[in-house]
Amino acid sequence: MKTSARQTRFLIVLFSLSCFVFGQSIFNEADITELLADRDFSGTVLIEKNGATIYHKSFGLANRQFNIANTNATRYHIASITKLFTSALIFQLYDMGKIDLNKPIKTYLPEYKGEGAETITIDQLLTHTSGIKNCEEIGSDVEVLRLPNSIDDIVKGYCSGELVFQPGTRFSYNNADYIILGKIIERLYYDKSFERVLSEKILQPLEMENTGMIEPDGSIITNLANAYLWDRNANEYKNNPPLILGNYFSSGAMYSTSNDLLKFSNALFHGGLLSDNALELMLQTSSVAKYWAHGLEVLSLRMKDKELKSAYRQGGCQGMNTSLNYFFDEDLTIVILANTDKIPSQEFKELNKAIAEIIMN
């Protein structure tokens, strides 16, 4: 039977819904969907290759009480991906000649009273080599996240203690580093709020209309997914305990969507946010922090008999796991936003790698 031109076009469109062709390889989106379904993934995954979106799907529920599904427009708390935005704002200041990465905290925040005020550099804050005691070990995370505190009080009470090691000699992941950086950003922009600087310098120029800060006062954010904890003993989801996520400030209080994070990734890694020199500095790893650079990890992954360079930023908070991953050699971006912790945060790198291997076939 002869096939009409209309039928031929229909078959081509139908084929493209399940496969994406680039070069000599064929990517079957059903393989990724099956990978996520097998792990009971709840959230959104967006993948871009060579400037084209090749996968964008959502799974599970944004609100389990009312049976509201996650969609590609759902907003998620992105947790520590916030740090990559904070780092970008610091490097924009570097591009403008307004900050020296080798100067100490006190140069830009004279009121800072911590033991390392005159010894901890901006670079050491960016690379988590400051030596400041972990802010969630001072008291407890209950105090930091479940009690109302002004950001100034958090800096004074949880980010200004004694040093636990000599700055620059060790790596120790600490939200305090990026909370201090947020206050420095405010000061260098003439006491504008971090939220306003973020909006003026990144969100508005990139038209990231579904991204912003979670406020400590509990202001309602429409279309924001709830977070759920997976109880492995009871084999069921539980509500996340009440947290004042806004207390994480410039270290982890942002929300966003998959599309908005893709805009940010493209502007950061393809040009538009930073000079080539500033981006190169951002991607330099610390001599004592292995693969940690300035606000993100720079990884070398063995895949398909090739060593691939990847810029990776993960975020995690109770019931919420997120990641933004860019493969330089493949011009491949993978955004994963989950509103449960059924896939533990320590498995997210492997999930990213598994997805990338499917795409590279």
Tell me the Ramachandran region of residue 103: left when phi exceeds 0, alpha when psi lies from -120 to 50, beta otherwise.
beta
What is the pLDDT of the chain when averaged over all its residues?
90
The mean per-residue pLDDT over the stretch 211-218 comes to 92
Distance CA 340, CA 110 (A): 41
Quick one: pLDDT at residue 13?
Answer: 40
Quick one: pLDDT at residue 143?
Answer: 63
Which one of 9-23, 144-158, 347-361 scores highest in mean pLDDT? Answer: 347-361
Quick one: pLDDT at residue 290?
Answer: 86
Determine if the pTM surpasses 0.85: yes
Distance CA 286, CA 188 (A): 25
Which one of 133-137, 149-153, 156-160, 280-284 scores highest in mean pLDDT? Answer: 280-284
Comparison of pLDDT for 360 and 119, the residue scoring more: 119
**pLDDT tens string 319-356:** 999 999 999 999 999 999 999 999 999 999 999 999 99
Quick one: pLDDT at residue 141?
Answer: 54
**8 A C-beta contact, residue 27 and residue 359:** yes
Tell me the Ramachandran region of residue 296: left when phi exceeds 0, alpha when psi lies from -120 to 50, beta otherwise.
beta
**pLDDT tens string 238-250:** 998 888 889 999 9
Place of tokens 């009440």: 242
Banded model confidence at residue 16, pLDDT cuts 50, 70, 90: very low
Comparison of pLDDT for 192 and 243, the residue scoring more: 192
Quick one: pLDDT at residue 15?
Answer: 44
Looking at the predicted structure, is the pLDDT value of residue 133 above 70?
A: yes
Place of tokens 């009273």: 113
**8 A C-beta contact, residue 309 and residue 329:** yes
Q: What is the largest CA-CA distance in the chain?
A: 83
Every domain of the chain and the residues it spans: 22-61+75-360
The secondary structure of residue 169, as a DSSP letter, is S
Question: What one-letter code names the amino acid at 260?
Answer: D
Please, what CATH class does the domain formed by 22-61+75-360 belong to? alpha beta
Element of type H or E holding 181: helix 175-188
Quick one: pLDDT at residue 140?
Answer: 54
3-class DSSP state of 97: coil
The mean per-residue pLDDT over the stretch 285-296 comes to 92
Q: How many helices (H) and strands (E) does the chain have?
A: 13, 15
